[in-house]
C-alpha cells in the first residue's frame, strides 16, 4: 500500500513538471514578440519606443536570454512559487492568482454541490420513478444537458432569471446572489454527466440477482437504489467527480466571462486576448495542478471504495 | 438495459441521423436550403423578428440569420472535420507505433499523452491560441491537440490487444518488419474503436470550437461560425433574443443528435 | 415560427409594460433643487490599460475617473472649445508659441493637504515629461518641452524649444492634470496602482484595475472652473465605477436599477435606448472630439491604394449615411471629415465624402480594374483585395466589407491580436489601417498622419514623399499660430487636403452615448466628452 501511495505521488509530481514543460514549449517558442504587447492596447497604438527602451523591456521580462536559460530560470522560480510578472498589468502573477483564486473556488464549490445534488437526484428518480414516461424523460434529460453549449445555457439563464424575472443579478462578483446563475451554468453539464454515469451503474445494480431477493423482503425500488445502488455506484461517481473538479477552471472561463465575474477563468480569457503569456501559463499550470492533485486523491480514495483496485494495480 | 429502452433509442436514431445528414449537406451546399446570401447586408431590414420569410429573423445588418446558421455549418463542420481528421491520423500513428515498439519509448510517449489528457481541453486550446493567434487554422490545431491524446490511448490499447494475437506474433517471428505488421495486421483491426471515439469527439470538437468563437478567438467574420453567431447576437439579447436563442437551440440539436447517434451505434458514452 | 416571433414580442411588451408602470412610481422631486448625498454607480465596459495615474492614462474611460480626482491648469468649454481659467486664473502666451506663463489661483490644496503652488506645477510637468513612453499622450502634449520655471509661488513659466500652440489646450486635459508633489515621489507603477492625490472634488480611495474604483467626496472643495454650476463640494457622497463587458448585461443592470450610469465605448444600440427610456431613464450623447473613426491607406508602390484614383473611388464607395443609420440609428451624426464634429476648428468636407458608386466605378475602370464574372474587379489577373487588420470584425466592419463587395472590391478583414496588429501596422503589412484618437484639439491628427513627428505606420505609409511634406508643413503651421483665426485657416486647409488626396477614409463619428437612470440629474460632459460629476445629484437618493 505504501509503495502504491508513494508511486502515485511521484507520478503526480512528474506529470506536473511535464505540464509545465508543455506550457513553456507552446508559449515561449511562439512566433510573435510579447514585448510589442506592452505597447498595444486601447485608444492609442503607440510604437514610440527607441531600440534601447525596447531592450530594457526585454531584459526586464528575461526575454533577452537564450531559450534553455529562460526555461531553467522559470522552473527555478516556479519551485519557489514565483510565477513572474504580468506583461500587461505590471504586477506579479502570483498576486493576481491569489486575488482571483477565491471567487473561482467559491463558484466551483457551489457548482459541484449543485451538480452532485442535481445529477444524483435525476439518476435516482430516473431508475426509481413509478411512471414509465417520467423514467424515459429523466433518462433523456442528461443528454440534453451535455449537448447544449454552456455559454448558451448561461445566456438562457440570464434571459429568464435576470432580465425577465429579475430574481438574480446578471453580473457581478458581490454577494451570494451573483453566484447562483454562473454556478448553475457550470453545474448543468456536470450534473448531466454525473446523472448518466449513475443511471448506468444503478441499472446494473438493479439487474443483479440479489436485488430480486432483497426486493422480495418488501423493500421498495427507491429504497434499494438509495441503500445499495448508490454505494455500488460510488467508485464510478468519484471518477466523474474528479474529472469535473479538475475542469473547474476551464468551465469557469465561460461562466465568468459571461457573467463578468472575477476569477481565474476570466483572468485567463483576458490574458489570451492580451497575449499576456505569463498569466496564461500560470493559470494553465494551476488548472493542471488541480487535475493532478484531484487524480491523486481519486487514486488514493479508490482502494478504500473498492479493495480490488490495489490488487489490480499490483498485478498490472 | 431493458429491451424497451433499446427500441426507443433506435426509434430516435432515424430523425437524429436524418437531421445530421441535412446539416452535413447544408455544410457542403448551403444554397440548397436558402435563397439568401449570408453576407449581403440589407440595412432596411435589420433586427426583424422570426417570420415565414426569415425563419430565424434578421441580424443587425439585415442578414437572414437562418442563412447565416446554415453557412456557419460550413465553418464549424469544416474545422471539426479537419481537427478530428488531424487528431485521428496523429492518434493512430502515435498509438500504434508506441504500442508496437513497446519498452521505454512507449512509456515516454504514453506519459506525454497522460500529461495532455490531464489538461482540460479548453485550456489546452487557449494555450495554443495564445501562441499562434486567432483564426481557423490555430483553432483546428488547438482542438485537434485536445482530442488526439484520447485517440492515441485507444489506438495503443487496441494495438497491444492485437499484437499478442497468435497470428500477428507468428508474422513477426516469421521475419515481417514491424512497420509491415503494423500496416497489415494492426491498423485494420484497431481503427474501428478509434473511429467510434472520433465520432464522439466530433461533438466535443463542435463544443470547443463554438466556445472559442464565443470567447472571440475563432475564425473571423464574415465567416459565421456558430459560436460567433451566438456571441454576436448576445449584444441584442434584450431587444432581439431570437438572434441568440434560435442558433443556440440549433447547435444543441446537432450535438444532441450526434450524441444519440453515437449511443445507437453501440458505444457507451462516459 | 411566426408564432414564436409573436410570442417573444408579446413577452417583451409585457416586460416593457411592467417597467413603464414602475417608472411612474417615483421621480416626484425631478425638478427640485439638487439633493446632497448618495453614491453614483457607474459601469464602464472595460479597463485594458489598468492604470489610475492621469499623467499615464490613455484609456478614455479612466480619464472620466481622473477628471473627478485631479484638476488641471485650465478648462475647456465643450460648447465653444474656448480655454477658460481653472487652477490658473490667467496666462500669457509668447508670439512664437514657445513660452507660456500661468498665474495660479490661491487657496487650492491637494487631497493630501499640500498646497498648489508654482513648484508643484513644475514638479508635475517635469515628472510627466520624465515618464517618457509611459505617457503616450504626454509625449505629444508636451512635444518640445524645455523647462518649467518657478517665477514666484503663484507664477510658473513653461518653455518649449519648438512652437507648441496646442499646449494651452493640453493644460486643460486630464493628462496634464497637476497632482500633489508627494505623488511624484512614488514610482510610476505605484501611481498606476492608485497612489495618487489630486486637487479634484473627489478622492480615490480604491483602485482595483478593471474591477472596481471608489471615489469619496472632498468636503472642502471650492475651486471649480467657471464651467461648473456647483461652486462648492460635490453633491454626491461617493462614486463607484465597475466594469461590465456585455452590452446587454450592462443595459439590463441599468434598467433593473443595479447601476445608475451605463457608459459603453460603442454607442448604446437603438433598441437598448428604447428600453432605457421605457424604464424612465434617458441617454445623453456627445461625439468624442479628435480624430474620427477612419481608415488610413498604405500607398506603398505596388499596392492597390498607391493609385490615387483607387483611393478616391474608395472614398466615394463608403456609404457613410447608411453606416450611421444601420450600425447606430437613424439620425446618428454622419461623419463629415477627419475630425468628429465636436473638435475645435472642425471644417466639414461633406460634399467630398458623398456616396457616389457610379463615379467610383468610372474611376476604377479608368485605373484598369475591371469587373469579372465573380463580381470582383481584377487587373492583370490580380483581384482588387484590400487587407484591413482588425482585432475583432465588428458589424460595422462587415457592413463596410459588403458595401465594397458590391463595387467589386474584396475587403479582407484579418482578425489578429492587438500586438500582431501593431506589428502589421509597423511593417506596412496592410492596405487599410484603423486610426482614431481623442483630444479636443486638431493637432491630434498629427499623431496619426504627420510623417515629421509620428513613427506610426499610419503616418509612414499613408503618403508619398510630396504629399507627406505638404501635410507636415500644414501641421507645423497649425502649431506655430497662436491666433485662433490663423490656426483655423491652417487646419481647414489640412482637413480639405487630406480628404481630397484620400489620405484618410472617415467612416463614422465616435459618439459617447451614456445611459442614465431616472435618478441621475445634472449630468455633464467635459469638452473631451468625459464625465464631469461636480453638478451630478441623485433624486430620491434614499429610495
Tracing cell 433643487 back to the chain, one arrives at C33
**C-alpha span between C45 and A162 (Å, rounded):** 19
Query: Residue with C-alpha cell 440609428?
Result: C329
**C147-155: average pLDDT:** 96
Could you tell me if A44 lies within 8 Å of chain C, comparing CB atoms? yes
C-alpha distances out from residue C171 to C62, C164, C167, C174, C531, Å: 18, 12, 6, 8, 18
What letter does residue C184 receive in the DSSP assignment? G
Taking an 8 Å Cβ-Cβ cutoff, which residues of chain B contact chain C? 39-41, 43, 46-47, 49-52, 55, 57, 59-62, 133-135, 216, 219-222, 232, 234-242
What the block records as the C-alpha cell of C508 is: 463614422
Give the least confident one: B91-95, B148-152, C31-35: C31-35
Q: Does A185 touch chain C (CB under 8 A)?
A: no
Give the highest mean pLDDT range of A53-62, B221-230, C533-542: C533-542
Least confident window among A231-245, B99-113, C63-77:
A231-245
Report the gap between the CA of A36 and the closest CA in chain C (Å): 6
For residue C340, pLDDT over 80 is answered with yes
What value of ipTM does the predicted structure carry? 0.81
The more confident residue out of C505 and B110 is: C505
Pairwise pLDDT comparison (C77 vs A204), residue with the higher score: C77
- Minimal CA separation from A98 to chain C, in Å: 14
Question: Into how many domains does chain B fold?
Answer: 1
- Which member of B122, B124, B248 has the closest CB to residue A152? B248
According to the model, what pLDDT value does residue C19 have? 39
**CB atoms B259 and A156 under 8 Å:** no
Average pLDDT along chain A: 79
Report how far residue C347's alpha carbon sits from residue C496's, in angstroms, rounded to the nearest whole number. Answer: 8
Domain boundaries defined on chain C: 2-9+33-248, 290-508
**Whole-number pLDDT of residue B109:** 87
The fold of C2-9+33-248 is D-Maltodextrin-Binding Protein; domain 2 (3.40.190)
Residue C28: DSSP 8-state: T
Residue B48 lies in a domain: no
Interface of B with A in 87-146 (CB under 8 A): 111-112, 114-116, 118-124, 126-133
Sheet of C505-508, strands arranged across: C432-438, C290-297, C505-508
Cβ of C415 under 8 Å from any chain B Cβ?
A: yes
Is the residue at B227 inside a domain? yes
Question: What confidence tier does C97 reach under pLDDT thresholds 50, 70, 90?
Answer: very high
Calculate the average pLDDT of chain C: 90
Chains in contact with C, where contact means 3 or more Cβ–Cβ distances below 8 Å, are A, B
Partnered with residue C513 across adjacent β-strands are C285
Confidence at A216, pLDDT banded by 50, 70, 90? confident
How far from C524 is each of A95, C69, C269, C333, CA to CA, in Å? 38, 16, 21, 20
How distant is the Cα of C271 from the closest Cα of chain B, in angstroms? Answer: 6
What is this structure's pTM?
0.78
Does residue B177 have a pLDDT over 80?
no
pLDDT band at residue A11, thresholds of 50, 70 and 90?
confident
Cell of A122: 435525476
For β-strands C39-44 and C238-243, DSSP reports them as parallel
A147–B115 C-beta distance less than 8 A: no
- Chain B interface mutation, best of A250, A252, A298, highest count of B Cβ atoms under 10 Å: A250
Contacts of B230 in chain A (CB under 8 A): 149, 151-152, 155
Residue of chain A whose Cα is closest to the Cα of B230? A152
Residue of C nearest to A271 (CA): C48
List the single residue in A163, A193, A250 with the smallest CB-CB distance to B123: A250
Domains C2-9+33-248 and C290-508 share a fold: no
Taking each helix axis from N to C end, the angle separating B187-214 and B121-132, rounded to the nearest 10 degrees, works out to 70
Asked whether residue B47 is assigned to any structural domain, the reply reads: no
- Nearest CB to C325 within list B43, B47, B135: B43
Residue C57: what pLDDT? 94
Contact list, A247 vs chain B (CB under 8 Å): 120
d(CA C492, CA B76): 50
| B207 at interface of A, judged by CB pairs closer than 8 A | yes
Minimal Cα distance from B134: which residue of C? C416
B85-94, B213-222, C218-227 — which is least confidently predicted? B213-222
C-alpha–C-alpha distance, residues A272 and A266, integer Å: 10
Of the listed ranges C41-45, C252-256, C310-314, the least confidently predicted one is C252-256
- Report d(CA A143, CA B191) in Å as an integer: 26
Amino acid A315: pLDDT: 47
Which DSSP letter does residue B45 get? Answer: G
Range of the domain at B143: 57-268
* DSSP-derived pairing of the beta strands C382-383 and C99-104: unpaired
Give the separation between CA C416 and CA A27, rounded to whole angstroms. Answer: 17
Predicted confidence (pLDDT) at residue C219 exceeds the cutoff of 90: yes
d(CA C297, CA C50): 31
The 3-class SS string of C227-282 reads: CCCCCCCCCCCEEEEEECCCHHHHHHHHHCCCCCEECCCCCCCHHHHHHHHHCCCE
For A114, A121, B5, B79, C124, the CA distances from A139, given in Å and listed in that order, are 19, 12, 10, 31, 70
- Please state the separation of Cα A189 from the chain's center in Å: 12
Per residue in C286-319, pLDDT tens? 999 999 999 999 999 999 999 999 999 999 999 9
Q: Which residue has the cell 472642502?
A: C220
Chains that touch B (3 or more CB pairs under 8 A): A, C
pLDDT higher than threshold 50 for residue C5: no
Give the chain A residue whose CA is nearest to the CA of C249. A170
Test C269 with B235 for CB contact under 8 angstroms: yes
**Grid coordinates representing B134?**
486567432
pLDDT in tens, A13-49: 888 888 888 888 887 765 555 555 555 433 344 444 4
Residue C529's region, left for phi above 0, alpha for psi from -120 to 50, else beta, is left
Confirm whether B6 is domain-assigned: no
Q: How many angstroms separate the CA of residue C459 from the nearest CA in chain A?
A: 12
* Residue B150 touches partner A, C-beta closer than 8 Å: no
HSE at residue C4, side-chain half, CA atoms within 13 A, is 16
Res C274 pLDDT > 80: yes
Q: For chain A, which chains pass the contact test of at least 3 CB pairs under 8 Å?
A: B, C
Cβ–Cβ below 8 Å for A143 and B237 = no
CB atoms within 10 A of CB B74: 18
C contacts of B236 (beta carbons < 8 Å): 248, 269, 271
Of A263, A261, A262, the residue nearest A283 (C-alpha)? A263
Chain C stretch 230-249, residues whose beta carbon is closer than 8 A to a beta carbon of chain B: 246-248
Whole-angstrom distance, CA of residue C253 vs CA of residue C258? 5
Give the whole-angstrom CA distance, residue A51 versus residue A140.
63
| Residue C377, φ and ψ in degrees, nearest 5 | -95, 145
- Which chain A residue has the Cα nearest residue B129? A272
Q: Could you tell me if residue B240 is inside a domain?
A: yes
Considering only the beta carbons, identify the residue of C8, C271, C397 that sits closest to B47: C271
Residue C275 with chain B: CB contacts under 8 Å: 238-239
Comparing alpha-carbon positions, the chain A residue that sits nearest to C63 is A43
Statement: residue C25 has pLDDT above 60: no
Indicate the range of B15-19, B253-257, C24-28 predicted with least confidence. Answer: C24-28
C208 touches chain B (CB under 8 A): no
Q: Which chain A residue lies closest to C243 (C-alpha atoms)?
A: A260
User: For residue B68, what is the domain's CATH number?
Assistant: 1.10.3720.10
**Rounded average pLDDT over C478-482:** 92
Domain C290-508 has CATH 3.10.105.10: yes
Higher pLDDT, C75 or C139: C75
Chain B with chain C: Cβ pairs closer than 8 A: 98
- Domains of chain A with bracketed CATH: 35-82 (no CATH), 95-313 (1.10.3720.10)
C80 interface with B at CB cutoff 8 Å: no
Amino acid at each position: 500500500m505504501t509503495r502504491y501511495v508513494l508511486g502515485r505521488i511521484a507520478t503526480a509530481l512528474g506529470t506536473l513538471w511535464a505540464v509545465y514543460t508543455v506550457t513553456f514549449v507552446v508559449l515561449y517558442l511562439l512566433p510573435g514578440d510579447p514585448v510589442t504587447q506592452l505597447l498595444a492596447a486601447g485608444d492609442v497604438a503607440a510604437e514610440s519606443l527607441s531600440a534601447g527602451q525596447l531592450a530594457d523591456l526585454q531584459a526586464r521580462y528575461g526575454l533577452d536570454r537564450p531559450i534553455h536559460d529562460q526555461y531553467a530560470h522559470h522552473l527555478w522560480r516556479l519551485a519557489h512559487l514565483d510565477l513572474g510578472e504580468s506583461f500587461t498589468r505590471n504586477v506579479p502573477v502570483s498576486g493576481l492568482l491569489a486575488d482571483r483564486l477565491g471567487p473561482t473556488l467559491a463558484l466551483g464549490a457551489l457548482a459541484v454541490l449543485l451538480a452532485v445534488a442535481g445529477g444524483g437526484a435525476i439518476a435516482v428518480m430516473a431508475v426509481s420513478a413509478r411512471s414509465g414516461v417520467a423514467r424515459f424523460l429523466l433518462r433523456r434529460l442528461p443528454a440534453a444537458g451535455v449537448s447544449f453549449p454552456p455559454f448558451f445555457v448561461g445566456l438562457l439563464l440570464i434571459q429568464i432569471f435576470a432580465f425577465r424575472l429579475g430574481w438574480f443579478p446578471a453580473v457581478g462578483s458581490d454577494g451570494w446572489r451573483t453566484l447562483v446563475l454562473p454556478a448553475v451554468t457550470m453545474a448543468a453539464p456536470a450534473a448531466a454527466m454525473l446523472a448518466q454515469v449513475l443511471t448506468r451503474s444503478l441499472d446494473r445494480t438493479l439487474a443483479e440477482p440479489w436485488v430480486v431477493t432483497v426486493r422480495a423482503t418488501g423493500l421498495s425500488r427507491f429504497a434499494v437504489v438509495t441503500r445499495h445502488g448508490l454505494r455500488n455506484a460510488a467508485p464510478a461517481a468519484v471518477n466523474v467527480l474528479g474529472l469535473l473538479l479538475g475542469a473547474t477552471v476551464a468551465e469557469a472561463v465561460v461562466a465568468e466571462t459571461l457573467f463578468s465575474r472575477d476569477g481565474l477563468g476570466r483572468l485567463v480569457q483576458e490574458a489570451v486576448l492580451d497575449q499576456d503569456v505569463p498569466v496564461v501559463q500560470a493559470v494553465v499550470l494551476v488548472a493542471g495542478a488541480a487535475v493532478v492533485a484531484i487524480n491523486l486523491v481519486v487514486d488514493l480514495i479508490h482502494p478504500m471504495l473498492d479493495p480490488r483496485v490495489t490488487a489490480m494495480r499490483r498485478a498490472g | 438495459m431493458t429491451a424497451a429502452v433499446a427500441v426507443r433509442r433506435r426509434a430516435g436514431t432515424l430523425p437524429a441521423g436524418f437531421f445530421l445528414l441535412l446539416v452535413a449537406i447544408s455544410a457542403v451546399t448551403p444554397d440548397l436550403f436558402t435563397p439568401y446570401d449570408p453576407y449581403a447586408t440589407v440595412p432596411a431590414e435589420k433586427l426583424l423578428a422570426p417570420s415565414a420569410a426569415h425563419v430565424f429573423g434578421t441580424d443587425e445588418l439585415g442578414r437572414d440569420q437562418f442563412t447565416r446558421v446554415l453557412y456557419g455549418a460550413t465553418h464549424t463542420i469544416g474545422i471539426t472535420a479537419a481537427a478530428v481528421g488531424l487528431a485521428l491520423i496523429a492518434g493512430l500513428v502515435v498509438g500504434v507505433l508506441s504500442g508496437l515498439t513497446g519498452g521505454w519509448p512507449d512509456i515516454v510517449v504514453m506519459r506525454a499523452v497522460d500529461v495532455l489528457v490531464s489538461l482540460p481541453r479548453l485550456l489546452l486550446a487557449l494555450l495554443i491560441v495564445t501562441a499562434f493567434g486567432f483564426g481557423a487554422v490555430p483553432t483546428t490545431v488547438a482542438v485537434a491537440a485536445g482530442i488526439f491524446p484520447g485517440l492515441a490511448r485507444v489506438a495503443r490499447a487496441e494495438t497491444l490487444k492485437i499484437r499478442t494475437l497468435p497470428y500477428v506474433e507468428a508474422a513477426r517471428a516469421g521475419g515481417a518488419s514491424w512497420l509491415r505488421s503494423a500496416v497489415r495486421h494492426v491498423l485494420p483491426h484497431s481503427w474501428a474503436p478509434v473511429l467510434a471515439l472520433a465520432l464522439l469527439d466530433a461533438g466535443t470538437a463542435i463544443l470547443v470550437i463554438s466556445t472559442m468563437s464565443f470567447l472571440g478567438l475563432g475564425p473571423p467574420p464574415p465567416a459565421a461560425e456558430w459560436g460567433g453567431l451566438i456571441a454576436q447576437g448576445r449584444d441584442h439579447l434584450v431587444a432581439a433574443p431570437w438572434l441568440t436563442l434560435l442558433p443556440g437551440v440549433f447547435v444543441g440539436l446537432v450535438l444532441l443528435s450526434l450524441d444519440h447517434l453515437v449511443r445507437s451505434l453501440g458505444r457507451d458514452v462516459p | 415560427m411566426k408564432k414564436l416571433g409573436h410570442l417573444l414580442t408579446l413577452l417583451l411588451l409585457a416586460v416593457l409594460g411592467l417597467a413603464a408602470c414602475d417608472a411612474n412610481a417615483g421621480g416626484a422631486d425631478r425638478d427640485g433643487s439638487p439633493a446632497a448625498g448618495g453614491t453614483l454607480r457607474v459601469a464602464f465596459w472595460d479597463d485594458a490599460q489598468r492604470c489610475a495615474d492621469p499623467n499615464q492614462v490613455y484609456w478614455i474611460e479612466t480619464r472620466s475617473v481622473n477628471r473627478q480626482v485631479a484638476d488641471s491648469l485650465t478648462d475647456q468649454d465643450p460648447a465653444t472649445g474656448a480655454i477658460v481659467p481653472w487652477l490658473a486664473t490667467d496666462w500669457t502666451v509668447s508670439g512664437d508659441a514657445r513660452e507660456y506663463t500661468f498665474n495660479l489661483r490661491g487657496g487650492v490644496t491637494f487631497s493630501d493637504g499640500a498646497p498648489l503652488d508654482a513648484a508643484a506645477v513644475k514638479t508635475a510637468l517635469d515628472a510627466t515629461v520624465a515618464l517618457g513612453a509611459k505617457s503616450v499622450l504626454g509625449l505629444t502634449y508636451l512635444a518640445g518641452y524645455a523647462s518649467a520655471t518657478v517665477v514666484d509661488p503663484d507664477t510658473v513659466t513653461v518653455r518649449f524649444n519648438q512652437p507648441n500652440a496646442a499646449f494651452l489646450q493640453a493644460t486643460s486635459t486630464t493628462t496634464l492634470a497637476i497632482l500633489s508633489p508627494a505623488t511624484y515621489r512614488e514610482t510610476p507603477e505605484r501611481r498606476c496602482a492608485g497612489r495618487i492625490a489630486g486637487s479634484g472634488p473627489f478622492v480615490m480611495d480604491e483602485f482595483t484595475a478593471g474591477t472596481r474604483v471608489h471615489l469619496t467626496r472632498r468636503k472642502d472643495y471650492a475651486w471649480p472652473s467657471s464651467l461648473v454650476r456647483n461652486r462648492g463640494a460635490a453633491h454626491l457622497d461617493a462614486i463607484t465605477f465597475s466594469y461590465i463587458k456585455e452590452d446587454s448585461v450592462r443595459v439590463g443592470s441599468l434598467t433593473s436599477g443595479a447601476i445608475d450610469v451605463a457608459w459603453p465605448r460603442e454607442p448604446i444600440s437603438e433598441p437598448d435606448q428604447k428600453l432605457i427610456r421605457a424604464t424612465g431613464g434617458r441617454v445623453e450623447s456627445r461625439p468624442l472630439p479628435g480624430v474620427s473613426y477612419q481608415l488610413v491607406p498604405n500607398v506603398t508602390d505596388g499596392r492597390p491604394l498607391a493609385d490615387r484614383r483607387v483611393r478616391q473611388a474608395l472614398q466615394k464607395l463608403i456609404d457613410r449615411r447608411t453606416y450611421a443609420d444601420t450600425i447606430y440609428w437613424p439620425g446618428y451624426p454622419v461623419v463629415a471629415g477627419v475630425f468628429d464634429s465636436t473638435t475645435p476648428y472642425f471644417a466639414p468636407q461633406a460634399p467630398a465624402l458623398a456616396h457616389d458608386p457610379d463615379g467610383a466605378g468610372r474611376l476604377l475602370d479608368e485605373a484598369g480594374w475591371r469587373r469579372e464574372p465573380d463580381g470582383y474587379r481584377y487587373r492583370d489577373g490580380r483581384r482588387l483585395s484590400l487587407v484591413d487588420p482588425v482585432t475583432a470584425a465588428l458589424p460595422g466592419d462587415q457592413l463596410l466589407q459588403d458595401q465594397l463587395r458590391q463595387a467589386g472590391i474584396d475587403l479582407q478583414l484579418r482578425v489578429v491580436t492587438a500586438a500582431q496588429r501593431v506589428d502589421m501596422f509597423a511593417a506596412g503589412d496592410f492596405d487599410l489601417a484603423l486610426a482614431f484618437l481623442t483630444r479636443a484639439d486638431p493637432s491630434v491628427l498629427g499623431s496619426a498622419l504627420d510623417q515629421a513627428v509620428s513613427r506610426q505606420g499610419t503616418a509612414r505609409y499613408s503618403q508619398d514623399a510630396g504629399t507627406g511634406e505638404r501635410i507636415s508643413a500644414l501641421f507645423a503651421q497649425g502649431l506655430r499660430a497662436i491666433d485662433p483665426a490663423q490656426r483655423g485657416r491652417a487646419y481647414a486647409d489640412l482637413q480639405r487636403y487630406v480628404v481630397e488626396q484620400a489620405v484618410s477614409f472617415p467612416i463614422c463619428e465616435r459618439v459617447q452615448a451614456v445611459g442614465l437612470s431616472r435618478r441621475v440629474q445634472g449630468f455633464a460632459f467635459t469638452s473631451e466628452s468625459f464625465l464631469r460629476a461636480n453638478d451630478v445629484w441623485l433624486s430620491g437618493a434614499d429610495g
